[in-house]
């Protein structure tokens, strides 16, 4: 209970911290700012510590979290007024910024609560927020130098662009220079450094983000578009302030939720996967590299959030709900507690289920075996897949071998990656897919600009145009086949001729290895992806030419429905249970069965639990999924139904002409088996 003691020399009040994140940087800043307006000496006591209430650094050392009772004391002529103001601040929860709830696209399931690591295109991260009193003037000087350096860079750029493209285009950078010359802005930044002991980096980011939000709130579209100018100024200033001291994605100091506009393939390849526990991005879709990596790592991710990067400050508490597609920034106490309990209950359930089903076969209730394999991006993912019960690897994407290097990977680099996977699998099979990228994604190759790369020279088409690069990979794949159960999978096959041509290149490579007396599996299995409509329509013909099929539903759905899932205007049209897609799947499975070859699904549809039963009902016996953590849940579903029940479910959804009705029916069905998840 709050109380007030009047004393001629000393006044005190007890008040409880009630904001969700406690007395962290921003609340401490506000407390210090108000305390410094009064002449009285102000002290704050909590947890056995008594500190100077005017010093942000000392306030932070209290570690006063939500629920902590603090004693504020003031001594001086205006002590009563000071205590009134400080008590009101604490009771207002430090005028805490409202919780932000953003809805995006759920691309990797799970829930995580961590501090935000705000990563923008240059990879800036502010390593600390406050400085010592004796560092203030030195840091102000560093800011002034960074401003001057930034102005010179912009002026040079303005001249260069004006000379090359005309003064109208060059004037864009004149706007940037004027922002840096704004006396009020500079004063605000310096004031934050001097009065609150903020680092110049944090003061710059804080001040400019205020203006960014103001610009975003205006109705005038021209002014709203100027947000990018402010972002550019911020990045330039931060670059000149931080120099080489930037914290990189591959060397993080603590566990974080990575908040970014989007991540390039090369950036995702450099992640410190031990420290990144969740993703939240402005852009991206279910097939973006961020989404793929998140699923591969088994960490929650939500993408397509629009402008989440402008809502978040580094160090903010962020909740990523990868089940519902929500990102909650600065959660209030009630929301935080709810999610903390949810995380705890999910972990308990997952551990219990994994223990319960460990060593149990994935067979239907009437004894039909369904194989569950894992999808991986990196060799280091083998361990988690095996631990969760994967029978092998149904899709090893090899793109990161190409993306994480300034030059094409050598045969030995390929071989090292493949042999690592083969050895760690200890006899379990692995399907390795050949390069599935276009030249536009490979930094070391020249490429002709294509109007629509998605329909252009990529995947197997690119390999045919660049046989030397393709042969290097094929040699390594064949050499790895001598060490274990390796199968080769070709992507984007759209005709019989493409499959035959790819096989011919394998046979030619075998002849080369034979001449060099290098061992390989002469009976290595060769498969075709089914991921374009034409491949489905000729699946009966392709089945005569290969040993197995793997259905790539990600691209199949996009090509079939003419939907770019990364385009927020049409992403809602992407639908795995569209009647056309279901018919395609039925056709492909039937072709494989009639020609006695195996068929599996490696697209993300196979890893979405509500689709497990109808896919089994269609006759599918192999699933390759990510993240590995869903394998016990999938096994639970498989063991809960008979094949006839699964067949009945499949027959039922074929009668629906409304995909939403199909989704609701399947969700309701599987929720009875896994109520903890659905």
- Four-residue CA torsion sign, 432, 530, 457, 507: positive
Asked whether the beta carbons of 112 and 258 are under 8 A apart, the reply is no
Q: How many CB atoms lie within 10 A of CB 547?
A: 15
The packing angle between helices 411-425 and 467-481, to 10°, is 30
Q: How many CB atoms lie within 10 A of CB 39?
A: 13
d(CA 89, CA 35): 11
Q: Which of 24, 289, 414, 463 is flagged as catalytic?
A: 289
- What distances in angstroms separate CA 506 from CA 66, 422, 450, 522, one per listed residue? 64, 20, 29, 11
Residue 127, SS3 per DSSP: coil
Q: Which of 129, 176, 463, 602 is flagged as catalytic?
A: 602
d(CA 396, CA 398): 6
Strand ranges, E, within 120-179: none
For 217, half-sphere exposure in the C-beta direction (CA atoms, 13 angstrom radius) is: 7
- Residue 447 annotated among the catalytic residues of the structure: no
Q: Strands 256-260 and 111-119, how do they pair?
A: parallel
Which among 318, 272, 263, 327 is positioned nearest to 292, based on CA atoms?
A: 263
- Residue 289 annotated among the catalytic residues of the structure: yes
Angle (CA) 616 617 621, round 5°: 30
Q: Strands 525-530 and 622-625, how do they pair?
A: unpaired
User: Phi, psi at residue 530, to the nearest 5°?
Assistant: -110, 100
d(CA 196, CA 203): 9
Helix, strand, coil share (%) of the chain residues, nearest 5: 50, 15, 35
User: Phi, psi at residue 277, to the nearest 5°?
Assistant: -110, 0
What are the residue ranges of helices labelled H in 115-135?
A: none
**What is the DSSP secondary-structure string of 69-85?**
EEEEEEESTTHHHHHHH
Strands, sheet with 276-281, edge to edge from the N-terminal-most edge strand: 100-103, 326-329, 317-321, 111-119, 256-260, 276-281, 301-303, 105-108
User: Phi, psi at residue 107, to the nearest 5°?
Assistant: -120, -15
For 576, half-sphere exposure in the C-beta direction (CA atoms, 13 angstrom radius) is: 20
User: Phi, psi at residue 394, to the nearest 5°?
Assistant: -90, -10
Q: How many CB atoms lie within 10 A of CB 452?
A: 7
- What distances in angstroms separate CA 224 from CA 206, 227, 229, 286, 569, one per listed residue? 19, 6, 10, 28, 20
Q: DSSP assignment, residue 198?
A: B
Which among 599, 670, 572 is positioned nearest to 285, based on CA atoms?
A: 572
The residues carrying an active-site annotation are 289, 602
């Amino acid at each position: 209970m709050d109380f007030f003691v009047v004393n001629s020399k000393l006044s005190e009040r007890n008040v409880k911290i009630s904001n969700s994140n406690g007395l962290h940087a921003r609340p401490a800043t506000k407390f210090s700012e108000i305390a410094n307006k009064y002449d009285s000496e102000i002290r704050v006591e909590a947890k056995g510590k008594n500190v100077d209430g005017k010093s942000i650094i000392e306030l932070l050392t209290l570690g006063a979290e939500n629920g902590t009772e603090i004693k504020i004391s003031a001594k001086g002529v205006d002590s009563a007024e000071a205590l009134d103001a400080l008590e009101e601040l604490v009771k207002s929860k430090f005028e805490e910024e409202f919780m932000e709830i953003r809805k995006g696209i759920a691309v990797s399931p799970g829930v995580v609560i961590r501090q935000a690591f705000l990563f923008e295109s240059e990879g800036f991260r502010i390593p600390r927020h406050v400085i010592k009193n004796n560092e203030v003037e030195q840091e102000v000087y560093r800011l002034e130098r960074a401003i001057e350096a930034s102005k010179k860079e912009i002026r040079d750029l303005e001249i260069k662009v004006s000379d090359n493209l005309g003064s109208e285009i060059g004037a864009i950078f004149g706007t940037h220079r004027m922002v840096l010359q704004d006396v009020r802005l500079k004063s605000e930044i310096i004031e934050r450094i001097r009065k609150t002991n903020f680092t110049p980096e944090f003061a710059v980011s804080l001040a400019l983000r205020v203006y960014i939000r103001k610009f975003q709130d205006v109705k005038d579209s021209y002014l709203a578009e100027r947000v990018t100018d402010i972002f550019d100024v911020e990045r330039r200033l931060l670059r000149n302030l931080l120099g080489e001291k930037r914290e990189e994605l591959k060397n993080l100091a603590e566990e974080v939720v990575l908040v970014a506009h989007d991540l390039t393939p090369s950036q995702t390849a450099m992640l410190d996967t031990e420290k990144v526990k969740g993703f939240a991005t402005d852009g991206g879709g279910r097939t973006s590299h961020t989404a793929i990596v998140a699923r591969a790592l088994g960490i929650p991710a939500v993408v397509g959030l629009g402008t989440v990067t402008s809502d978040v400050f580094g160090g903010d508490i962020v909740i990523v709900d990868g089940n519902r597609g929500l990102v909650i920034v600065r959660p209030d106490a009630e929301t935080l507690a709810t999610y903390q309990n949810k995380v705890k209950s999910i972990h308990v359930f997952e551990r219990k289920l994994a223990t319960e089903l460990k060593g149990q076969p994935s067979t239907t209730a009437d004894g039909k075996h369904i194989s569950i394999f894992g999808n991986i991006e990196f060799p280091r993912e083998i361990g988690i897949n095996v631990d969760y019960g994967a029978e092998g690897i149904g899709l090893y994407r090899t793109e990161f071998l190409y993306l994480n290097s300034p030059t094409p990977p050598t045969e030995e680099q390929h071989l090292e990656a493949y042999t690592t996977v083969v050895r760690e699998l200890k006899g379990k099979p692995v399907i390795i897919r050949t390069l599935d990228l276009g030249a536009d994604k490979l930094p070391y190759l020249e490429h002709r600009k294509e109007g629509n790369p998605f329909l252009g020279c990529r995947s197997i088409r690119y390999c045919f145009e660049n046989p030397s690069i393709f042969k290097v990979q094929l040699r390594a794949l064949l050499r790895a086949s001598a060490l274990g159960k390796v199968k080769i999978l070709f992507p984007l096959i759209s005709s019989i001729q493409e499959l035959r041509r790819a096989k011919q290149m394998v046979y030619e490579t075998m002849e080369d290895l034979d001449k060099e007396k290098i061992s390989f599996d002469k009976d290595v299995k060769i498969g075709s992806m089914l991921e374009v409509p034409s491949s489905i329509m000729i699946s009966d013909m392709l089945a005569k030419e290969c040993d197995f099929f793997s259905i790539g539903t990600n691209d199949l759905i996009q090509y079939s429905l003419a939907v770019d899932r990364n385009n927020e205007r049409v992403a809602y049209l992407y639908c795995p249970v569209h009647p056309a897609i279901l018919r395609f799947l039925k056709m492909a499975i039937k072709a494989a069965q009639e020609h006695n070859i195996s068929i599996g699904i490696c697209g993300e549809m196979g890893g979405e639990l509500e689709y497990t039963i109808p896919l089994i009902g269609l006759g599918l016996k192999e699933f390759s999924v990510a993240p590995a953590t869903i394998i016990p849940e999938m096994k639970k579903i498989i063991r809960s139904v008979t094949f006839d029940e699964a067949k009945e479910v499949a027959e039922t959804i074929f009668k629906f002409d409304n995909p939403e009705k199909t989704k609701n029916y399947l969700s309701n069905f599987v929720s009875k088996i896994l109520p903890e998840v659905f």
